[in-house]
Amino acid sequence: MVSLEELLEFLPRTDCGQCGLTCAEFGAKLLSRELRPEDCPVLHEPDFAGFIEALHELLGVPVAAPPPMEIDPEKCNGCGICVAMCEYHLGNCPEARLGRGPRLGDNVVFHIVNGVAVVVRQDLCTRMLQAAEKCNKCADHCPTEAISFKQ
């Protein structure tokens, strides 16, 4: 079985905090299958091309359930409306309640990375915690219909 040290070889190891964790903590959640490699927004940057695939290979065929939320990067224009309107952000990020969006370091469902919205902590989405029909705000407010849900 793959070790945490092996996974860390393919994580940025900057402890930037965008996932709400340190890189080592993120790696531990990869091992326990609570998070997926693509949940680290930094790994979507060009400098880390191939790292997500490498992590999947190390972890073996992972991730039982398909991700329920998807953002189509071809449709997303990076406007940030989803980040500003997200029910979880409004309830948990003080700056978001003031209309300024969450701050770097806040736990967030998604972030804008290189001009595109990227899911960071899907597990925080209200849909994952409560009945799905209770929230659809991000998809409803997205001007390009880039957000879709599988459940």
36 phi and psi, to 5 degrees? -115, 155
Q: Where are the alpha helices (DSSP H) in the chain?
A: 4-8, 23-31, 51-59, 81-85, 87-92, 94-97, 126-129, 137-141
Binding mask 130-149 for ligand SF4 (x = CB under 6 A): -----xxxx---xxx-xx--
15 forms part of the interface with ligand SF4 (CB under 6 A): yes
- Comparing CB distances to ligand SF4, the nearer of 57 and 144 is 144
Structure-derived torsion over alpha carbons of residues 98, 100, 102, 105, reported in degrees to the nearest 10: -110
Contact flag: residue 19 with ligand SF4 (CB under 6 A): yes
Find the binder of ligand SF4 among 7, 10, 36, 41 (CB under 6 A): 41
CB closer to ligand SF4, 16 vs 54: 16
Out of 7, 10, 11, 51, name the contact with ligand SF4 by CB under 6 A: 11
From candidates 7, 10, 21, 107, binder to ligand SF4 by CB under 6 A: 21
C-beta atoms surrounding 12 within 10 Å = 18
8 A C-beta contact, residue 97 and residue 90: yes
What's the CA gap between 77 and 25, in Å, rounded?
Answer: 31
Binding site for ligand SF4 (CB under 6 A): 11-12, 14-19, 21-23, 26, 40-42, 71, 76-82, 86-88, 109, 117, 125-127, 135-138, 142-144, 146-147
